[in-house]
Amino acid sequence: MMLLFAGVASAQSFVSGTVVDGADGSPLPGANVVISGTTQGTQTDAEGKFKLRIPQHNFTIQISFIGYQAISKTLKANGDLEMGTIKMMAGSNELSAVEIVASRTTAESPFVFQELDKKEIVQNLGSRDLPNVLNVTPSVYSTNQGGGAGDSRINVRGFDQRNVAVMINGVPVNDMENGWVYWSNWDGLGDASSSIQVQRGISPVNISVPSVGGTINIITDPAGQAQSTSFRQEVGSFGFRKSTFGYNSGMLNEKFAFSLNLVRKQGDGFYQGTYTDAWAYYFGASYQMDDNDKFEIYAVGAPQLHGQNLYAQNIARYSHDYASDLEDYDQAAFQRYREAGRDFNQNYGGVSSSYTGRQYYAMYNTNLGQRYASDYIMERENYYHKPQINLNWYHTFNKDLRWSNVVYWSGGAGGGTGTYGSVSTDYSYQGMGVIQWDKEIAQNSDNFDQTYHSALNASTGILRNSVNKQQTWGAISKLMYNVNSNLNIQAGVDYRWASIDHYREVRDLLGGDYFAYTGNDFESSNAQFMKGLGDKIAYDNTNQVSWLGGYAQAVYDTKKLNLFGMAGYTVVSYDYTDHFQNDGTGNALNLATDNLPGFQVKAGAAYKVNRNFNFFVNGGYISRNPIFDYAINDGAGVVYDNPENEKVSIFEAGASYYIGNKFGLTVNYYNTTWTDRTITQNVRLMNGDEDFIFLGGLGQNHSGVELAGSYQPIEGLRFDFGSSIGNWEYTSDVNATYTTYENGSAVENTFNLYVNGLKVGDAPQTQAYISGSVDITEGLTAKVDYRYYTSFYSNFNPMDRTDEGDRTQSWQVPDYGVVDLHLYYDLPLNTEDYSVSVFAHVFNALNTIYIQDATDNSQYNSFDGDHDADDAEVFFGIPRNFNAGFTIRF
């Protein structure tokens, strides 16, 4: 398509102007000039002049230069436009109202961050899971794990995403029970994101969120963009196809505007059975009621169904050739682990198409139908829809006093599948454990067990859904007061309440007529024990979380100095109801905690030596409220007494150097200490009751140096680069004694973990990247990304290190590098009615074979347990794959 349209004659329109310093009128060479919402942009020349091709409809132009306040202006398309002299005033960029609510930061602050704008997201993402676009950021590591759509994970400075805060338009989206983020819930977010700011380390976020490694702060497209309509069609490897429709109303009556995105995505996936069948939507609207009051509403969601590959494998299972090239792989393991191919998925299994048993899953109400594919059954599927809606109200009392409020709701319904009961599994295939669906169906179809019914077949094994239905309500209110031109103070509250239902239900009876389950204390008859599609089994719990926090913050800012200070206090309480367990009075067992307190303090200072150079320092201390699992044991039905808070202390220092927008470099050092990591142990009290105690002492330290920079030697050629060298390790052994009364008398027990000096795994401790982009001709941009990873220790559970004689480091993943290619072209069409862009991405362009996720001494796939390559279970990176398509804008 690029070759076909490259020579098309056109009647193009341009906008031009001259950007100067507002104080002395000197030109500002290298200022960025971008058409909002597109990849079209340029920079000013040595005289501050620019000329940029523009769309044939109304548009918004944005002009930015480091150390100056950004300029944004909406223009009407009417042939060539001359903006004349544009004066930029020195100072900080003024944040929008939603950015203030979201605690975004600027280059003048004492925090380390990196920001991707709309152009960079569009040019780099290629419809991958959103965190994958952040891999060109120091100390950030994201993978798609087993290759299922939305199953990606992200790690920042060695901390997994339970300890990384994720916020969308100022609203935290980490799970309120365990802190995890499920990216399949936000499948369409990449299409609607206006910018993503990765705030590494302490971050300026002032509401209580689990930001130990950092914060991923996402802002969606504003509703006030110029009027436009767009359609994007994409195709890609492994049967991928995606259609996206977008509409921006532009400002209506100078008061109201809205934006809309609708997405349809399907694909087969690389690994067997990792299909995706998804929709996504985004809606944003703003209403400027008067000079003092503005309202915004945002709604985002992604109802989806996808197959998963959750079971990592021994290296040889995927490739004997790769394993044999590893010096520390014992080739005797080849006899146990037969090669099944790079696309092998243990969750996938063929089934006869003659089996037409129905399946049950509910995302809203009852959904009863056929399985996704007629010739196979996936043991592991995920289906979910978690919409989030926020209503924002910004009120200006006067020029010095503002009030921002967010009220939000998020409701989710869906779950994940698996087997339950005894399901026929073939372990003869070298111990692989592949489920034999046809065999199980035949067995269930001819199982006349008369225990519960004399004429029906009882299933011995079934497919189940593990259901999660939830709703969350929250409110964030911030009051901001400018004491004077230099001092700004804030105070705010953050309230959240969530109710989450967890239960299992029958998804597929696999040929039988019912499944017998007798674990519900409130059921006593055979008819009640016989479970059909959609009936609850295994467990049925309701968890509630109540969260209230407050904070106070002050920022002192002069031309040279920026000081930041913040303190916050939070209380959280948990409530648990087991609907299957009788508490002895005929009611369901209910447990509740007291209010569990936590707090955080943060401070930082940045000093601007001159227009080109500044340095900064920051630090903080966090006493984290326990998550649900560290407050209530919902498996044993026990409330923990006085659960320990985990403590985190952070220190950071660095400097930045800029030469306009031509060259920029930031170097920083960080040190994060995490102590009193939660360890619980089951004990029996003197009166015979069971209880749990907390064993302290487990800690880890994460320190390192990070570098990020950019260099633009000439107009149209730019390099971005960065690296991080980390040292993440456990800092001490755990040696504890405790008393238990297992047989009525006191018994002293010893609990020891031998982890001192072991490296923290799960992400490369050293990484580097470089990106080069070139404007080949007007509208045609090519970009190459190269990422390199080393010092990558495989993940492991420190609770498994109980042998004092074993202090071997976890297996180290081989170093690897990956190249990605990106191409984007705005076609020079001879029309004023619409514009067309075409694009292509090639990921892993050199088809490198590498391991991206690894677990040491796997419980399921370890050969001899000595921390070598033959004892790890892994996921390989996806082979070379492409994404390509076109966008039409009207």
Q: pLDDT tens, 318-331?
A: 999 999 999 999 99
The C-alpha atoms of residue 187 and residue 207 are separated, in whole angstroms, by 25
190 neighbors 550 (Cβ within 8 angstroms): no
What is the SS3 assignment for 638-680?
EECCCCCCEEEEEEEEEEEEEECCCEEEEEEEEEEEEECCCCE
Tokens 């985990």 belong to residue = 646
Segment holding 855, helix H or strand E: strand 851-855
496 neighbors 473 (Cβ within 8 angstroms): yes
Cα dihedral 140/145/149/154 (nearest 10) = -20
Cβ neighbours of 612 (radius 10 Å): 15
Q: DSSP class of residue 870?
A: G
458 neighbors 514 (Cβ within 8 angstroms): yes
125 by DSSP, 3-state: which? helix
| pLDDT for the residue numbered 585 | 95
| pLDDT for the residue numbered 685 | 72
Q: What is the CB-side half-sphere exposure of residue 393 using CA atoms within 13 A? A: 10
409 neighbors 472 (Cβ within 8 angstroms): yes
The C-alpha atoms of residue 409 and residue 815 are separated, in whole angstroms, by 44
Tokens 């009556």 belong to residue = 253
Nearest to 763 by CA among 284, 173, 214: 214
Segment holding 268, helix H or strand E: none
Backbone Cα Rg of the chain: 29
The C-alpha atoms of residue 732 and residue 697 are separated, in whole angstroms, by 7
| pLDDT for the residue numbered 10 | 43
Give counts: helices (H), strands (E), the chain: 8, 57
890 by DSSP, 3-state: which? coil
Phi, psi (degrees; rounded to nearest 5) at 603: -155, 155
Nearest to 625 by CA among 698, 564, 676, 696: 676
Residue-range domains of the chain with CATH: 1-94 (2.60.40.1120), 276-547+554-587+599-889 (2.40.170.20)
- Flag residues of the chain having pLDDT under 50: 1-11
| pLDDT for the residue numbered 519 | 95
* Alpha-carbon distances, residue 435 vs 358, 380, 428 (angstroms): 19, 12, 11
Q: What is the CB-side half-sphere exposure of residue 145 using CA atoms within 13 A? A: 22
Burial label for 847, CB within 10 Å (0-12, 13-18, 19+), is: exposed
200-230 burial: b if 16+ Cβ within 10 Å, else e: bbbbbbbbbbbbbbbbbbbbbbbbbbbbbeb
Question: Which two structure tokens, joined as six digits, stand for 54?
Answer: 């523009």
42 by DSSP, 3-state: which? strand
Question: Which two structure tokens, joined as six digits, stand for 278?
Answer: 């998804």
| pLDDT for the residue numbered 107 | 81
Which amino acid makes up residue 812? Q
Nearest to 115 by CA among 664, 740, 542: 664
84 neighbors 16 (Cβ within 8 angstroms): no
The string of pLDDT tens digits covering residues 822-875 is 999 988 887 767 889 999 999 999 999 999 999 999 999 999 999 999 999 999
